[in-house]
Chains A and B, each alone.
Chain A
Amino acid sequence: MAILTTVISISIISGALALISVIADAFLNNYGECEISINDGDKKLKVDGGSSLLSSLSSRKIYIPSACGGKATCGLCKLQVISGAGPLLPTEEPYLTEEEREQGYRLSCQIKVKTDLVIKIPDELFNIRAFETTVASITQLTHDIKGLKLTLPEGESIKFKAGQYVQLHTKPYAKVKESVFRAYSIASVPSEQTAVELIVRRVPDGVCTNFVHEALNEGDTVTISGPFGEFYLRGDCTELVMIAGGSGLAPIRSIILHVLEKELDLNIHFFFGAVTKKDLYYLDEMGELADKHENFHFVPALSAPEPSDEWEGETGLITEVVDRYVENADDKEAYLCGSPGMINACLNVLGKKGFKEDVIFFDKF
């Protein structure tokens, strides 16, 4: 009997409170449909007004970092609101500097969507998304490296900086029962937004590389997410020294194609290291680019060419070649991508040439 009374009375009381809340919400919190315009109209969302900007965005799969969950105690969910947010609230003040206030930064968890809003979200947050791509082609570039071309779904586009990477999510295959993801640099040029090219070198026992090399076929669908990464073209200089080994060509290729396509005023020296001729790829493409563009110099180098390679180019470790070609660090930036061993050796050489840490960018894998 006591249990019954308890259940009934709690139900009645909470039901009554819920009813009052729902009625109040419907009458007091009804602001109709509002439009949120993001990044100069790049994307327009129609949402029902009445909830916070943070939750309105996350309901539409745009995730702003937030640690406190909307209690105004972490200050992470800052973003720029151009119009529609009303006056600065006292809860926001402790988290915003004078400069940020002038630029219209607000805490998105504290702003309620009551009218149409115009906001700006940093590219890193706004552009990171998952894409369900289709494998358009798989090219055997060398005996252990494959090139993938993935096309994005109709109407979608990816915006990345030359040199950034995406995560490739595998599907269960053969004996691997779970999905994993690995990072691969984008090898294609950023202006091409409806497809990405990746370069995947087969690693013995590598879950993802073997997935690409064995299980993936043209026409399959595969999920990627991104873009991510701090390895991208800065370009505050007149000369770029680029060094790649193996599948490290990918981000370097993207940067080179970008510089040449946009006709940026940069002199590029690209050193591409491999062991024998069968480890080299994209030689023709790079050679053609070097013939066509005066500001692009391509130096492939083999550390141990086979006699059958009939190799006439540079030989020796990539560090020795770089040492011979690069004289000083004047107004240069260096971009390195390859194995940790290669990168560390190159950092050494570049350091001796006078390159400071802040003009050397690298991606180790």
Chain B
Amino acid sequence: MFDNAINPMIIFFASILTSNMILSNFLGMCSYISISGEYKTASGLGKSVTLVMLVTTLINYAVYHVIIVPFGLEYLQYIVFIMIIAASVQIIEMAMDRYLPDLHVKLGIFLPLITVNCAILGTTLFMVIRDYNLLQSAFFGFGSGLGWWLAISMLAAIREQMAKTKLPRGLAGPGIAFIITGIMAIAFIGFSGIFNIQ
């Protein structure tokens, strides 16, 4: 069903443009909407998500192929993935806080916010469903993160520009963010002819 020989580079670009975690899968919306008021903050969050997606996809790839498949525990994969994501994010955060305080100020403080981000679990699950190999998984995890970063940065940039715009009261805040996201998603359909991995 899936072409396992897909070039990792195609997966990489597809996960940014045509299969964007936010704009085509609508995953990870909670932090996307609530932390997109300022470009700088949003961009920092995007970088953390990218890092976490890359790392957790690789760890989960290893766990899936070393533990879950050999022992026939596929039915437990969801719970195992969630636990591994939560634990590894916490440990990355603690280590960064201790040894790389400068980086922690820029990146690390977002980590607790995205421990339970659905885009991160989604990336892992897509990787399993689509049966990617190690290289494909790495590119997919990294690309999905960059795509999420791109989407939240765009939304934050637009919202920052709109900060002084007068809006109907009910639309201010999350309301207009959803509308902007919808328009961005429609715009991203324009990329769909280039390549498709779903």
- Interfacial chain A residues near B76, Cβ < 8 Å: 6, 9-10
Q: Are A9 and B71 in contact (CB under 8 A)?
A: yes
**Does A341 lie at the interface of the complex (its beta carbon under 8 Å from any beta carbon of B)?**
no
- Interfacial chain B residues near A86, Cβ < 8 Å: 101, 105
**Does A29 lie at the interface of the complex (its beta carbon under 8 Å from any beta carbon of B)?**
yes
- Interfacial chain A residues near B73, Cβ < 8 Å: 5-6, 9
Closest to A68 in B: B34
Interface centre among A6, A21, A70, A110 (most CB of B within 10 A): A21
A to B contact number (C-beta, < 8 Å): 71
Given the interface pairs A25-B94, A89-B105, A93-B40, the reply to whether A10 lies near B113 with Cβ below 8 Å is: no
- Chain B nearest CB: distance from A343 CB in Å? 34
The answer for the CA separation of A89 and B84 in the assembled complex, in Å, is 27
**Does B91 lie at the interface of the complex (its beta carbon under 8 Å from any beta carbon of A)?**
yes
Q: Are B87 and A17 in contact (CB under 8 A)?
A: yes
Closest to B106 in A: A90
**Does A174 lie at the interface of the complex (its beta carbon under 8 Å from any beta carbon of B)?**
no
Closest to B99 in A: A28
Q: Are A21 and B87 in contact (CB under 8 A)?
A: yes
Q: Are B91 and A90 in contact (CB under 8 A)?
A: no
- Interfacial chain A residues near B80, Cβ < 8 Å: 10, 13
Given the interface pairs A6-B76, A10-B76, the reply to whether A91 lies near B37 with Cβ below 8 Å is: no
**Does B83 lie at the interface of the complex (its beta carbon under 8 Å from any beta carbon of A)?**
yes
**Does A73 lie at the interface of the complex (its beta carbon under 8 Å from any beta carbon of B)?**
yes
The answer for the CA separation of A158 and B107 in the assembled complex, in Å, is 43
Given the interface pairs A17-B87, A112-B97, the reply to whether A71 lies near B113 with Cβ below 8 Å is: yes
The answer for the CA separation of A25 and B91 in the assembled complex, in Å, is 8
Q: A77-120: contact bitstring with B at CB < 8 Å (1 yes, 0 no)?
A: 00000000011011101100000000000000010100000000
Q: Are A91 and B98 in contact (CB under 8 A)?
A: no
- Interfacial chain A residues near B113, Cβ < 8 Å: 71-72, 91
- Interfacial chain B residues near A110, Cβ < 8 Å: 109
Q: A43-83: contact bitstring with B at CB < 8 Å (1 yes, 0 no)?
A: 00000000000000000000000000011110000000000
Q: Are A13 and B106 in contact (CB under 8 A)?
A: no
The answer for the CA separation of A24 and B86 in the assembled complex, in Å, is 13
- Chain A nearest CB: distance from B153 CB in Å? 13
The answer for the CA separation of A25 and B90 in the assembled complex, in Å, is 9
**Does B79 lie at the interface of the complex (its beta carbon under 8 Å from any beta carbon of A)?**
yes
Closest to A29 in B: B94
Q: Are A28 and B105 in contact (CB under 8 A)?
A: no
Q: Are A14 and B83 in contact (CB under 8 A)?
A: yes
The answer for the CA separation of A20 and B84 in the assembled complex, in Å, is 11
**Does B162 lie at the interface of the complex (its beta carbon under 8 Å from any beta carbon of A)?**
no
Q: Please name the 5 residue pairs, one residue from A and one from B, whose CB atoms are nearest each other, closest first.
A: A28-B94, A17-B87, A73-B34, A90-B41, A94-B37
B residues whose Cβ falls under 8 Å from a Cβ of A = 34-35, 37-38, 40-41, 44, 67, 71, 73, 75-76, 79-80, 83-84, 87, 90-91, 94-95, 97-98, 101, 105-106, 109-110, 112-113
Task: Supply 14 further A-B pairs (C-beta < 8 A) apart from A28-B91, A94-B37.
Answer: A14-B83, A17-B83, A20-B87, A20-B91, A24-B90, A28-B95, A28-B98, A29-B98, A86-B101, A87-B105, A90-B38, A90-B106, A90-B109, A93-B41
A-B contact pairs, 27 of them (CB 8 A): A6-B76, A9-B71, A9-B73, A9-B76, A20-B91, A21-B87, A24-B91, A24-B95, A28-B91, A29-B97, A70-B112, A71-B113, A73-B34, A73-B35, A89-B109, A90-B38, A90-B40, A90-B41, A91-B35, A91-B109, A91-B110, A91-B113, A93-B40, A94-B37, A94-B38, A94-B41, A112-B97
